[in-house]
Structure 1
Amino acid sequence: MTDLNTQVAELREQLNALARQVNAVTEAADEKDKPDLVDTLSDMRLHLNDAAAALGDIASPPDEVLARIDEVTRRRNELVEAARVAMAEGDDGTATDLLRAAAGHSADLVELHKRRIELGLELP
């Protein structure tokens, strides 16, 4: 039988994969000029990311909390950079969606840093 940590990790990966699928559908809806669908899907993606992060917070030993901080920071920075590119190309809708997702990652980082402080962990 698979241990609980493995099951949680698999569930987190499934949530992340679903968030990536939602992102792809969001892009397709944006191309078809469906703003209501884009907004709904963007919110859904944020909820999926939040759920994956919450699972990581609950099940993560201290070294995983630090690794998660690095991962979420990297993802947030990538989203911000992609938003800059989209704005430079005049694609304000995509830039807005990317910045919303980046804001969700920033919120995740706040929670991760709270957890890090609770655990008494120093950043490397």
Structure 2
Amino acid sequence: MPDLDQQMAALREQLNALARQVNAVTEAADSEDAPGLVDTLSDMRLHLNDAAAALDDITNPPPDDVLARIAEVTRRRNELVEAASIAMAEGDDGTAADLLRVAAGHSADLVELHKRRTELGLERP
């Protein structure tokens, strides 16, 4: 039987894989103009992030991981906001709203990541 550290690592990888799958389906739903599905998937992603944060709190990830996650989530959020700006300029307000909704989820994730960064006493990335 695997030890607890191995089981935690496996669980974390399963959560990460599921989160990647949810993100891929969310992007597909965005392109298919399905705002109801985007909302549901965004909520699901938040729950997955809560579960991952609970694991992170238990296992205390290395500080570099927290900073790397902040950088990646910030990059992705900024890409979504830029895409929303383009959609608005093209008059596609529905797509812009969907993209901004997903970007807001990333902003909520950043709040939690920055709380963790503060708890670890890390400098801003």
> TM-score normalised by the shorter chain: which range applies?
0.7 to 0.9
TM-score (normalizing by structure 2): 0.79
Distance 1:102 1:25 in 2: 14
- 1:30-109 correspondence to structure 2 within 5 Å: 30=33, 38-57=34-53, 58-59=55-56, 61=61, 62-109=63-110
- Which runs of 4 or more aligned residues in structure 1 lie more than 3 Å from their structure 2 counterparts after TM superposition? none
Which stretches in structure 2 are left out of the alignment for 5+ residues?
A: none
Count of matched residue pairs:
116
In structure 2, the CA distance between the partners of 1:42 and 1:12, relative to structure 1 (3 Å rule), is same
CA distance in structure 2 between the partners assigned to 1:67 and 1:6 by the alignment: 21
Contact 2:85 2:96 in 1 (8 A): yes
| C-alpha RMSD of the superposition | 2.0
Matched, 1:116 2:120: no
TM-score, normalized by length of structure 1? 0.79
Q: Can you list the C-alpha shifts for 1:19-50, whole angstroms capped at 9, x where unaligned?
A: 3113313432x2xxxxxxx3321212212322
Q: Residue 78 of structure 1 aligns to a residue in which SS?
A: helix
2-structure distance, mates of 1:86, 1:108: 24
Which AA in structure 1 matches 2:119? E
1:84-118 deviations in Å (ceiling 9; x for gaps): 11111111100000011111111111111111111
Structure 2 CA distance for aligned equivalents of residues 22 and 106 of structure 1: 16
Please give the residue correspondences for 1:8-19 in structure 2 after superposition, counting only pairs within 5 Å.
8-19=12-23
**Which range moved further: 11-20 or 99-108?**
11-20
Alignment partner of 1:90: what SS? Answer: coil
Structure 2 partner of 1:34: none
User: How far is the alpha carbon of 1:14 from its aligned partner?
Assistant: 1.8
52-61 or 109-118: bigger deviation = 52-61
Q: Secondary structure of the residue that 1:122 maps to in structure 2?
A: coil
Where does structure 1 lack aligned partners over 5 or more consecutive residues?
31-37
SS in structure 2 at match of 1:123: coil
